[in-house]
Amino acid sequence: MDKKKTVVADIDRSIYDRKNEDKFSYKSEKGLTRDIILDISKRKNEPQWMTDFRLKSLEIYEAMELPSWGPDLKDLDMNHIVTYVRPYTEMKGSWSEVPREIKDTFDKLGIPKAEHEYLAGVGAQYDSEVVYHSIKEELVKQGVIYTDMETAVRDYEDVIRQYFMKLVPPNDHKFVALHGAVWSGGSFVYVPEGVTVDIPLQSYFRSNSPGAGQFEHTLIIVEKGAKLHFIEGCSAPRYHVTNLHAGCVELYVKEDASLRYSTIENWSRNMMNLNTKRALVEKNGSIEWISGSFGSKVSMLYPMSILKGEGARSEFTGITFAGKGQNLDTGTKVVHAAPYTSSTVNTKSISKSGGTAVYRGSVKVNANAHHSKSTVSCESLMLDDISRSDTIPVLDISNDEVEIGHEAKIGRISDEVIFYLMSRGIPEEEAEAMIVRGFAEPIAKELPLEYAVEMNHLIQLELEGTIG
């Protein structure tokens, strides 16, 4: 008798694959040259130090090699990538003033509704620039700053110059250098000492132009004793040309401060997602990453926590879904650089239809970081015999007075568990659905409430038949 197989539907991308006409007020030439960078900086009316920074980053980019490990990046040719697309509108402070076509796209993604019901502030980026930004007046009165990076460079130049790409310098790797040369858009957040932002802030990045790159920069500073939850969403329609996303996130969490950074990355299957995210956490501060990686043809994404101060804490919770034609190489890095620091890593991945999901992680404990603790748990579920899942952990421990634990599980749905549930009166198909949903649920529940609808679009586990 032929064995039936579980059929898991691909992600329903209909809401995300809606394309707008490729309209713009300015688009740079394809490729990456000194003249293109000078033109971008001039159009932004940037200070000379930023122009110089861009040109230096270009030099570093041209001198560096592509990574010699990880997914194959042969389909990425910068000679065919447009690095700057300015939308056909200036940034608006009123949603009603945003052009109808752009507004309709964000409406369908649920951004205005989320703003009114759940959020204290919203930024919406379309291609290379932010088209809408708002923040509740009560936060402004408390001294909270939430604006786009282009405005921040102009209005808060001293602060930006002090922090910009100091945590993630251009010589970190080739795509950080690329980001330093052509970055555009993104958000700047500053939370003053002792201020608690009770309602999340959110930025949403939408790439529409085919064959373009998006290089937004997010800079967040949470001062001593302050608290913030920041949400980042990303999506793009599918094209038959390669698009590139090489954003950068720098998070500064000061003494006794806490930051939760939640992300849903749902790029299209023609996107190369080569993003870099890093947090610096001072004494008794905490960073919590909630990360969902669902889209893109290739992803290389490893949010990093540097626990600089005594008692600093980090927690990373991630879920990855890799379908046909996807190679999602994700994970996290933690550096324990002070005593009594602690970290927790909990990741889950699902792969199907020949997709590849890789967890690549690193935990480093410095010689001075005595009495540090770290726990790493990685679980992978493969839904057929042509998919792949790998776990590549690195534990670099330079101190004996530590507690370190690592656990990894890779497997398929258990026949024994199916039998047990059926013996309790649960139909076979529902038993299988329960197991797959249950596998993802502990991480999915950590995502913000306002992303529940998006999660339903991203993972539609429509199970039919039985496991053979």
Nearest CA-CA partner of 391 in 399, 405, 380, 402? 380
Q: What percent of the chain has pLDDT over 90?
A: 43
pLDDT at 85: 76
CB 191: neighbour CB atoms within 10 A? 27
pLDDT at 226: 98
More reliable by pLDDT, 67 or 369: 369
pLDDT band at 24 (very low <50, low <70, confident <90, very high): very low
More reliable by pLDDT, 260 or 4: 260
pLDDT at position 182 over 50: yes
pLDDT at 135: 73
Alpha-carbon 223 to chain mean position: 23
pLDDT at 94: 56
Contacts of 182 (CB under 8 A, 6+ apart): 32, 36, 37, 40, 54, 83, 84, 213, 215
pLDDT at 166: 98
pLDDT band at 129 (very low <50, low <70, confident <90, very high): low
pLDDT at 373: 97
pLDDT in tens, 205-228: 666 555 677 889 999 999 999 999
In the structure encoding, which two tokens stand for residue 326, read together? 């996807």
Contacts of 295 (CB under 8 A, 6+ apart): 11, 13, 16, 234, 235, 236, 265, 266, 267, 268, 269, 271, 273
Give me the helices (H) in 23-173, please: 34-43, 48-63, 100-108, 111-118, 137-141, 149-155, 157-163
Could you tell me if 135 and 120 are in contact, meaning their C-beta atoms sit under 8 angstroms apart?
Answer: yes
pLDDT at position 285 over 90: yes
Could you tell me if 236 and 262 are in contact, meaning their C-beta atoms sit under 8 angstroms apart?
Answer: no
pLDDT at 350: 84
In the structure encoding, which two tokens stand for residue 52, read together? 């110089």
pLDDT at 1: 35
The answer to which of 71-80, 132-141, 350-359 has the lowest mean pLDDT is 132-141
In the structure encoding, which two tokens stand for residue 33, read together? 């040259």
**Measured CA distances, 462 to 16, 21, 79, 386, 432 (Å):** 19, 33, 41, 19, 10
The answer to which of 281-285, 382-386, 410-414 has the lowest mean pLDDT is 410-414
Nearest CA-CA partner of 110 in 128, 124, 99, 100? 124
pLDDT band at 281 (very low <50, low <70, confident <90, very high): very high
CA dihedral sign of residues 74, 77, 78, 84: negative
What element of type H or E holds 379? strand 372-382
Residue type, 424: R
**Coil, helix or strand at residue 145:** strand
More reliable by pLDDT, 150 or 238: 150
pLDDT in tens, 387-399: 888 989 999 999 9
Q: What percent of the chain has pLDDT over 70?
A: 74
pLDDT band at 138 (very low <50, low <70, confident <90, very high): confident
pLDDT at 453: 46
Residues in the chain: 468
pLDDT at position 79 over 80: yes
Average pLDDT over the chain, rounded to an integer: 80
